[in-house]
Chain A
Amino acid sequence: MRRARTPQRRSGSAATRPNGGWVPLAVAAVAVSVIAGILVERLTRPAADPAGGRGGATPVAIDWPEPVTLSADEVTREGRELAERLVAEFPDLARAQTASGRLCALFGAPLEARQRWERSVALDPRQAEAWLGLAESAHADGDYPAVIDRLDRLTAVDEALARRQLPLRVESRVRMGDAPGALADLAALAPAGELPGWALVLRGEAQMQQGDHAAAAESYRLAVDDPQQASVARYGLAQCLARLGRTEEAAREREAYTRIEEENLRAFDQRQRDREAAPEDPAPRVRVLAGYHTEVGSLFAKRGRWEDAERHWRRACSLAPDMPEPRRFLESLTRR
């Protein structure tokens, strides 16, 4: 349904309609944040050196690859090619399927992404990222019962990662009309007075579904000062007040809502114009791609396929020269 209503869902919109684009963007935002988190964690931890080198004490002379820049189309094409290479080279490796799925999701192949993740969890049900990807995929399809099921699977293998998906879980429950489930999830998060805005508006909607318009009004009222939720909160509050027979208050809230919404639409129009004037900067996706090249290089290295490993690490270095991990791996490889 629409706009960013949760912290993850406030990313810039590539949607062509003001209310049409937030779910894939939410998925993308979640995906990017998860991937970024995973990559940062992997690339900064004292990783086991897949190149099997002898530490970094002795400087080595390396013919470092020239930095390259990619257009948006080029990064998409390369991301898709890397996704295909992964599954071609490692058809029975769950981790490769998971990574390939994420690449597909990031680079515009959602159906293939889902297939890769399904294959991944079939190979190894402990693939947390794959369960998350499947949950996001189900959300994009509006298959909310499947979202809950896959998040439950995720919880079983990575509770911390699952906890971070609470907005996705609660929102899915509300969209499928499971008000009791949504309210239970929110109650476990925090007392009402301490809930963030996104949670309050979902709480209000769930309470409306239960016909408790007084409680819903209170939830919405708590959210009206959150700038990101002001529109939905004001509208929900107006609807509840109308149901409670408080027509004058409802009219005032509607007026406030209308002002906010008109401003939102103006802002949306401006964002669309800005986006057309300044096409997408591919740099963030290039950096993600570099991270995947690093990972793929590591997979090859673990199988002793050093030339393949070197090729991917060199590509990572050329795409993101400041990324430390592939540089370290290349140095290590050179020392072998």
Chain B
Amino acid sequence: MPSRAFVSGVAAVALMALPCPVFAAGPIVFRDKTAATGIDFRHTTGGSGRKYMAETVASGLATFDYDGDGRLDLYLLSGVPLEGAPSDPRAGSRLYRNVGDWQFADTTVAAGLDQRGYALGVAVGDYDADGWPDVYTNDFGPNTLHRNNGDGTFTDVTAAAGVARGEALGAGANFLDIDGDGVLDLFVANYVDFRYDTHRTSLVAGRPDYARPREFAPRANRLFRGTGQGRFDDVSAAAGIAAHAGAGMGSVCFDADGDGRTDIFLCNDQRFDFLFHNEGDGSFRESALAAGVACNVLGAPTASMGVDAGDYDNDGRIDLVVTPYFNELPVLHHALGGGQFEDVAARAGLGVRAVAAVKWGVALVDLDNDGHRDIVITCGRIYEPAAGERSAWPPVLFRNLGNGRFANVSDQAGDLSACSGVARGLACDDLDGDGRVDLVILNRDGPATVLRNESPAANHWVGVRLRGKRAAADGTGARITVVAGDLVQVAEVHSGRGYQSHFGAWPHFGLGTHDRIDRIEVRWAGGTTDVVGDVPVDRLVTIVEGTGPTDTAGSTERGQP
């Protein structure tokens, strides 16, 4: 039965629609707004010169609306002094409230997020389904879960939730709904088995430097199942996650094979990447090699750092882009269907001028609203530079040409190429609500970089914010299909992506010259489907699960109530 479109599910319109003339797509242009934002954050690795392994992998960041004002705020992770380093009272992660007009206020202390952990990765999700996004940070040492109180403050509920997990050197983290019950679960990645008592260095170019990751034993990762009562049970062993040790870094949870269940992809440094396939019975099967995502096209287990999941070629399947080490091409795992992938990075043009730097943060986002997702990659060195080498690198921007290929336009993107840093995390979101996705880069031992997207505003767009009722309250795991004429795009709501970061929880769709959306279809993580039709463009729309007349023909029953 054909779906009956409805518009009453469009419950909120956050932005005014602007009459936009139709132009051909212009260039992608960024302007460095850092100095004007009031953001005085400075990341630290807390190093003492002893070259602890933790310093190499710090840190990610998050963009999310913590106070519900419709503006996306920033949470910038940092290390703190490690053993042997002098104390630094300013060191630590910082929360910046977006107060509009490109001004950000440091609300870390007022919000109760002035933790002193060595923060490496972050995921945001509404674990208690109260409508307010909560924050989990994956640290070197005990991890933390902060519950959003809904009044601009957070409470550390780590102990009550049972998700601290001790001494590990953490990496990425993701909220996900493994069984479609509407209660968020939590995947926590670990890097190698580094501790102070396992510390060592390596000789690099004849000098003591950070140890190579393969000098340390691999570590297994953790999976926690949400109980729905504010606690999580560690199901790592029972779910089959603990059986696989690696050197985890960035991670993303997505539906790899279109079976409606959320799988887990994890980058591993110098080891085969993992794809934990959700078997639907609470267990996961590691299947990366068979799926074609364990390594690159050369069969090389790359030094994978970050990963994003998105449909780059609008074929309705979610692809993966992975950022590896220098002298390695980015990896673009093109989804073939049936859970199979093929690395097509070279064919897609991702090899061009993207191998010289170590690559970290990554995002598949439409930066020019032409309906085709572009790729941004942050870069930065790990080891001490030798004479003639450099530590700081500008980001790399690949513009999607819409024909399966990308063009490296890094040097034609305004201030982008001037923003060199020893970058790690990257977050991409529309910070000023103008319909263009902006960038925030976290630089190791340096200030953050905020880049405003000032590309010509010729194309149309729509942002989609989900409100689950029986599915996850923040829509995590939902798949959104936007149909505008002959342009059909899909995206999923991810919690945790890129390099140990979190962004894009309100999926953004460029629409090109299409000035109406025929329909938006949401397949919630529990399996139900909502369809809204005839949606206006150039705004953020909120779709509430099951609101108004909905056509769920063809969908499965909801999962556990």
- The answer to whether A and B assemble together is yes
Q: How far is the CB of B343 from chain A (nearest CB, A)?
A: 9
Chain A 241-286 residues near chain B, CB threshold 8 A: 242-243, 251, 254, 257-258, 261, 265, 268-269, 272, 275-276, 279-280
Q: How far is the CB of A205 from chain B (nearest CB, A)?
A: 6
Closest B residue to A22 by beta carbon equals B327
Evaluate whether A16 and B202 lie within 8 angstroms (CB atoms) in the complex, with A112-B388, A269-B214 already known: yes
Evaluate contact between A235 and B299: CB separation under 8 angstroms: yes
Evaluate contact between A232 and B212: CB separation under 8 angstroms: no
Q: How far is the CB of A60 from chain B (nearest CB, A)?
A: 41
Chain B 186-226 residues near chain A, CB threshold 8 A: 202-206, 212-214
Evaluate contact between A239 and B342: CB separation under 8 angstroms: yes
Evaluate contact between B327 and A21: CB separation under 8 angstroms: yes
Chain B 332-353 residues near chain A, CB threshold 8 A: 336, 340, 342, 344, 346-349, 351-353
Evaluate contact between B299 and A261: CB separation under 8 angstroms: yes
Q: Assign chain A's interface to a size class.
A: 35 or more
A274 to B146 Cα, complex, angstroms: 47
Evaluate contact between B356 and A18: CB separation under 8 angstroms: no
A311 to B326 Cα, complex, angstroms: 41
A142 to B326 Cα, complex, angstroms: 10
Q: Is A225 an interface residue (CB 8 A)?
A: no
A276 to B211 Cα, complex, angstroms: 11
Evaluate contact between B296 and A258: CB separation under 8 angstroms: no
Evaluate contact between B325 and A17: CB separation under 8 angstroms: yes
A72 to B298 Cα, complex, angstroms: 34
- Name the segment of B133-141, B300-308, B507-515 touching the other chain: B300-308
A231 to B272 Cα, complex, angstroms: 14
A21 proximity list for chain B (CB < 8 A): 327
Q: Is B387 an interface residue (CB 8 A)?
A: yes
A104 to B302 Cα, complex, angstroms: 29
A325 to B351 Cα, complex, angstroms: 44
B344 proximity list for chain A (CB < 8 A): 209
Closest B residue to A23 by beta carbon equals B327
Q: Is A314 an interface residue (CB 8 A)?
A: no
A120 to B204 Cα, complex, angstroms: 33
Evaluate contact between B325 and A20: CB separation under 8 angstroms: yes
B522 proximity list for chain A (CB < 8 A): none
Closest A residue to B351 by beta carbon equals A175
Cβ proximity bits B361-395 to A, threshold 8 Å, 1 near / 0 not? 00000000000000000000001001111000000
B355 proximity list for chain A (CB < 8 A): 1, 23, 140-142
A257 to B342 Cα, complex, angstroms: 16
Q: Is A234 an interface residue (CB 8 A)?
A: yes
A209 proximity list for chain B (CB < 8 A): 344, 346-347
Q: Is A167 an interface residue (CB 8 A)?
A: no
Q: Assign chain B's interface to a size class.
A: 35 or more
A268 to B389 Cα, complex, angstroms: 24
A2 to B349 Cα, complex, angstroms: 18
Q: Is B295 an interface residue (CB 8 A)?
A: yes
Q: Is A19 an interface residue (CB 8 A)?
A: yes
Evaluate contact between B356 and A2: CB separation under 8 angstroms: no
B328 proximity list for chain A (CB < 8 A): 1-2, 19-20
Chain A 67-102 residues near chain B, CB threshold 8 A: 72-73, 76, 80
Evaluate contact between A205 and B346: CB separation under 8 angstroms: yes
Evaluate contact between A177 and B346: CB separation under 8 angstroms: yes
A18 to B351 Cα, complex, angstroms: 19
Chain A 1-28 residues near chain B, CB threshold 8 A: 1-3, 5, 14-24
Chain A 105-135 residues near chain B, CB threshold 8 A: 108-112
- Other-chain contact of A272, B212, B300, B342, B353 (Cβ < 8 Å): B212
Evaluate contact between A276 and B292: CB separation under 8 angstroms: no
Q: Is B270 an interface residue (CB 8 A)?
A: yes
B389 proximity list for chain A (CB < 8 A): 108
Closest A residue to B336 by beta carbon equals A243
Q: How far is the CB of B204 from chain A (nearest CB, A)?
A: 5
B298 proximity list for chain A (CB < 8 A): 1-3, 5, 205, 232, 235-236
Evaluate contact between B346 and A108: CB separation under 8 angstroms: no
Chain A 202-250 residues near chain B, CB threshold 8 A: 205, 208-209, 231-232, 234-236, 239, 242-243
Evaluate whether A1 and B206 lie within 8 angstroms (CB atoms) in the complex, with A108-B388, A176-B349, A209-B346 already known: no
Evaluate whether A179 and B347 lie within 8 angstroms (CB atoms) in the complex, with A14-B205, A232-B299, A235-B298 already known: yes
A261 to B383 Cα, complex, angstroms: 26
A235 to B354 Cα, complex, angstroms: 24
A22 to B303 Cα, complex, angstroms: 14
Evaluate contact between B303 and A242: CB separation under 8 angstroms: no
A5 proximity list for chain B (CB < 8 A): 298
B327 proximity list for chain A (CB < 8 A): 1-2, 15, 19-24
A73 to B386 Cα, complex, angstroms: 11
Closest A residue to B383 by beta carbon equals A16
A142 to B349 Cα, complex, angstroms: 11
Q: Is A299 an interface residue (CB 8 A)?
A: no
Evaluate whether A242 and B340 lie within 8 angstroms (CB atoms) in the complex, with A18-B270, A261-B301 already known: yes
Closest A residue to B325 by beta carbon equals A20
B383 proximity list for chain A (CB < 8 A): 16
Chain B 42-63 residues near chain A, CB threshold 8 A: none
A205 proximity list for chain B (CB < 8 A): 297-298, 346
Evaluate whether A141 and B353 lie within 8 angstroms (CB atoms) in the complex, with A20-B328, A261-B299 already known: yes
Evaluate contact between B342 and A243: CB separation under 8 angstroms: yes
Q: Is B289 an interface residue (CB 8 A)?
A: yes
Q: Is B290 an interface residue (CB 8 A)?
A: yes
Q: Is A143 an interface residue (CB 8 A)?
A: yes
Q: Is A174 an interface residue (CB 8 A)?
A: yes
B387 proximity list for chain A (CB < 8 A): 76, 80, 108-109
Evaluate contact between A254 and B290: CB separation under 8 angstroms: yes
Evaluate whether A1 and B299 lie within 8 angstroms (CB atoms) in the complex, with A14-B205, A242-B340, A258-B289 already known: no
A14 proximity list for chain B (CB < 8 A): 205
Cβ proximity bits B257-283 to A, threshold 8 Å, 1 near / 0 not? 000000000000010000000000000
B354 proximity list for chain A (CB < 8 A): 142
Q: Is A196 an interface residue (CB 8 A)?
A: no
A22 proximity list for chain B (CB < 8 A): 327
Evaluate contact between B388 and A177: CB separation under 8 angstroms: no
Q: Is B309 an interface residue (CB 8 A)?
A: no
Q: Is B165 an interface residue (CB 8 A)?
A: no
Evaluate whether A19 and B351 lie within 8 angstroms (CB atoms) in the complex, with A5-B298, A177-B405, A279-B203 already known: no
Closest B residue to A260 by beta carbon equals B299
Q: Is A321 an interface residue (CB 8 A)?
A: no
- Other-chain contact of A142, B290, B353, B388 (Cβ < 8 Å): B353
Q: Is A292 an interface residue (CB 8 A)?
A: no
Q: Is A181 an interface residue (CB 8 A)?
A: no
Q: Is A313 an interface residue (CB 8 A)?
A: no
Q: Is B329 an interface residue (CB 8 A)?
A: yes
A73 to B203 Cα, complex, angstroms: 15
Evaluate contact between B351 and A177: CB separation under 8 angstroms: yes
Evaluate whether A208 and B297 lie within 8 angstroms (CB atoms) in the complex, with A17-B270, A143-B352 already known: yes
A2 to B449 Cα, complex, angstroms: 31
Evaluate contact between B299 and A231: CB separation under 8 angstroms: yes
Evaluate contact between B292 and A239: CB separation under 8 angstroms: yes
- Other-chain contact of A176, B324, B346, B356 (Cβ < 8 Å): B346
A210 to B500 Cα, complex, angstroms: 35
Evaluate whether A1 and B352 lie within 8 angstroms (CB atoms) in the complex, with A254-B290, A279-B203 already known: no
Evaluate contact between B299 and A109: CB separation under 8 angstroms: no
Q: How far is the CB of A177 from chain B (nearest CB, A)?
A: 5
| New A-B contacts (9) at CB < 8 Å, excluding given A16-B212, A235-B298, A254-B289 | A1-B327, A15-B327, A19-B328, A20-B325, A20-B327, A141-B356, A177-B405, A235-B295, A239-B342
Counting from the closest, the 9 A-B pairs by CB-CB distance are A235-B299, A142-B355, A109-B388, A20-B325, A175-B351, A2-B300, A23-B327, A209-B347, A19-B300
Provide a sorted-by-A list of 24 A–B residue pairs whose CB atoms are within 8 angstroms.
Answer: A14-B205, A18-B301, A19-B328, A20-B328, A108-B386, A108-B388, A110-B388, A111-B388, A112-B388, A142-B351, A142-B356, A144-B352, A175-B351, A176-B351, A177-B351, A205-B298, A205-B346, A231-B299, A239-B292, A243-B342, A265-B270, A268-B214, A276-B202, A279-B203
